[in-house]
């Protein structure tokens, strides 16, 4: 009986070690960049049979979005509204021209040139008071009046983590008529 228990103990230890080695090998194979860069055998030319077009899988090509040119003048015009060139004081400009204009701890203001729209994200509570502060900062950052701001595409949102009651809605500037 002792020999049987000892044999089972050795076998279970052996199986554990083999399982562990297989798991490590699989993880290394899946994370190895060379294994991902292997050519697709279906896409290779089959010179023995002369069949290459039937089995060729097209490779998707990325769609390039043209990077907008950044204006260099002190004033710029968007949607007929003359404003301060916010690119000069931008915190960052992303790969598609998305421009972080205001980076407060309770709100963010981003301009998206492809949409010609501004997004104000409210990241603090209470929603209404932070929204008013963000709207005033938006006017100051652009050097425009409330009437001019209402001519622009401006969306105000908030995540549920900060304001669950107001989340999921695109608001407009509070001083613009609806």
Query: What would the pLDDT profile of 100-126 be if each residue is shown by its tens digit?
Result: 999 999 999 999 998 999 999 999 999
Rounded CA gap, 23 and 28, in Å?
9
Average pLDDT score over residue span 128-154: 96
Residue 61 resides in a domain: no
Residue 140 resides in a domain: yes
CA pseudo-torsion sign 133, 159, 126, 150: positive
Number of domains in the chain: 1
Task: Report pLDDT digits (tens) over 127-138.
Answer: 999 999 999 999
E strand or H helix at 76? strand 75-78
Residue 141 resides in a domain: yes
E strand or H helix at 121? strand 117-122
Residue 93 resides in a domain: yes
- Does the pLDDT at position 67 exceed 80? no
Which DSSP state fits 163?
Answer: -
Burial grade of 114 (CB within 10 A; 0-12, 13-18, 19 or more): exposed
Residue 143 resides in a domain: yes
- Does the pLDDT at position 74 exceed 80? yes
Its pTM stands at 0.62
Residue 51 resides in a domain: no
146: containing domain: 75-157
Residue 62 resides in a domain: no
Residue 21 resides in a domain: no
């Amino acid at each position: 009986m002792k020999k049987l228990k000892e044999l089972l103990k050795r076998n279970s230890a052996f199986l554990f070690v083999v399982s562990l080695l297989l798991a490590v090998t699989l993880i290394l194979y899946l994370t190895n960049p060379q294994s991902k860069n292997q050519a697709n055998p279906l896409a290779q030319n089959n010179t023995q049979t002369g069949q290459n077009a039937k089995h060729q899988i097209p490779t998707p090509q990325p769609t390039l979005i043209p990077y907008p040119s950044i204006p260099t003048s002190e004033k710029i015009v968007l949607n007929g509204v003359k404003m301060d060139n916010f690119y000069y004081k931008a915190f960052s400009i992303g790969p598609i021209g998305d421009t972080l204009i205001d980076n407060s701890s309770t709100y963010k203001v981003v301009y998206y040139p492809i949409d010609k729209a501004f997004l104000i994200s409210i990241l603090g509570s209470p929603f209404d008071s932070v929204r008013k502060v963000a709207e005033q900062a938006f006017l100051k950052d652009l050097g425009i009046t409330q009437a001019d701001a209402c001519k622009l595409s401006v969306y105000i949102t908030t995540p549920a983590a900060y304001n669950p009651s107001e989340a999921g809605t695109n608001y407009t500037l509070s001083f613009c008529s609806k």
